[in-house]
């Protein structure tokens, strides 16, 4: 790219003909100054404010991933599975094996194909139409969590729906290598993983950002509350994540999609509330 010299000896990138009129004085836009190998920096008061605002955008755009104790959910969900009956938690071996017998092996997507490979993913799953929650406080708690999740993600005033789309069971050696989920439906924003009280070991959910481990969710294991309380984790739908190997016992996870449907308003309305 060529450059031209102005009267002050400062260099300027060549502009398209229709832009030259806007920068007829051969100066950097927005009162900036410099040579071709310089990094532009704002010098005017207004420009500095704009730069600072853009720099702070990621800090106010919502949490990338978060979780902890699910205070809004009861420790006993009243889980009932067709063909199995009541599923008490923590999940013990006899009931876990009966539950697994009703499940399908969890597949994964690779390019345009759906595959089964336990070196990549080892778990079992059940469709939501075979799952019920007999405790009336459970769904009420999920609805309240949806409001809190929307706020934490930066969608202030935007109603989200958290809808169960699979029940997962991990036995010893169960895991899922680092991957990125495909969008389950239009408007899907995030994934909610709820873990009822559990006696298993291992199986942490690890969420990556920019290729690096950014968040680790152990669902109360380190604090010693995993056995007695319900825990949760949320991450953006397109976040890379992995489930580490379960080293002992059985892990039960309830996975929901958090989506904004058409009644949430237009995209302009959503942006206004961000």
Question: Residue 18 pLDDT > 60, yes or no?
Answer: no
Determine what percent of the chain is predicted with pLDDT higher than 90: 60
Chain-centroid distance of CA 127 in Å reads 21
What does the block give as tokens for 64?
Answer: 């990338």
What does the block give as tokens for 181?
Answer: 């989920």
Please report which residue ranges of 75-184 form alpha helices under DSSP H: 93-102, 136-153
Cα–Cα distance between 184 and 259 in angstroms, integer?
A: 9
Q: What is the DSSP string of 91-133?
A: PPHHHHHHHHHHSEE--EEETTEEE--TTTEE-EEE-GGGEEE
Q: Confidence class of residue 213 from pLDDT cuts 50, 70 and 90?
A: confident
Q: What is the pLDDT of residues 30-49, one digit of tens each?
A: 555 566 556 555 555 655 55
| Phi and psi, residue 221, nearest 5° | -65, -45
Which structural domains are found in the chain, ordered by start?
3-59 (no CATH), 65-273 (2.60.120)
Is the model's pTM score more than 0.85? no
Question: Residue 188 pLDDT > 80, yes or no?
Answer: yes
Whose tokens are 């899907």? That residue is 188
Q: What is the pLDDT of residues 80-110, one digit of tens each?
A: 999 999 999 999 999 999 999 999 999 998 7
């Amino acid at each position: 790219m060529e450059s031209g010299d102005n009267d002050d000896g400062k260099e300027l990138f060549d502009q398209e003909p229709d832009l030259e009129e806007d920068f007829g004085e051969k100066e950097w836009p927005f009162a900036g100054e410099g040579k071709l190998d310089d990094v532009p920096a704002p010098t005017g008061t207004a420009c500095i404010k704009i730069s600072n605002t853009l720099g702070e955008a990621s800090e106010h755009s919502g949490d990338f991933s978060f979780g902890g104790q699910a205070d809004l959910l009861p420790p006993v969900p009243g889980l009932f599975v067709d063909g199995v009956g009541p599923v008490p938690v923590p999940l013990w071996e006899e009931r876990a094996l009966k539950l697994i017998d009703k499940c399908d092996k969890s597949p994964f997507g690779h390019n345009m194909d759906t595959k089964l490979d336990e070196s990549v993913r080892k778990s079992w799953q059940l469709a939501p139409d075979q799952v019920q929650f007999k405790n009336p406080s459970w769904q009420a708690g999920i609805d309240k969590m949806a409001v809190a999740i929307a706020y934490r993600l930066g969608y202030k005033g935007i109603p989200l729906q958290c809808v169960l789309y699979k029940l997962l069971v991990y036995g010893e050696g169960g895991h899922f290598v680092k991957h990125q989920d495909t969008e389950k439906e239009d408007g899907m924003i995030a994934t909610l993983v709820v873990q009822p009280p559990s006696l298993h070991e291992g199986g942490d959910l690890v969420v990556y950002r920019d290729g690096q481990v950014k968040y680790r969710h152990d669902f109360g294991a380190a604090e010693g509350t995993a056995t007695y309380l319900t825990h949760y984790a949320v991450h953006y739908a397109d976040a890379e994540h992995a489930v580490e190997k379960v080293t002992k016992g059985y892990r039960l996870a309830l996975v929901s999609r958090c989506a904004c449907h058409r009644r949430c308003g237009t995209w302009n309305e959503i942006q206004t509330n961000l």
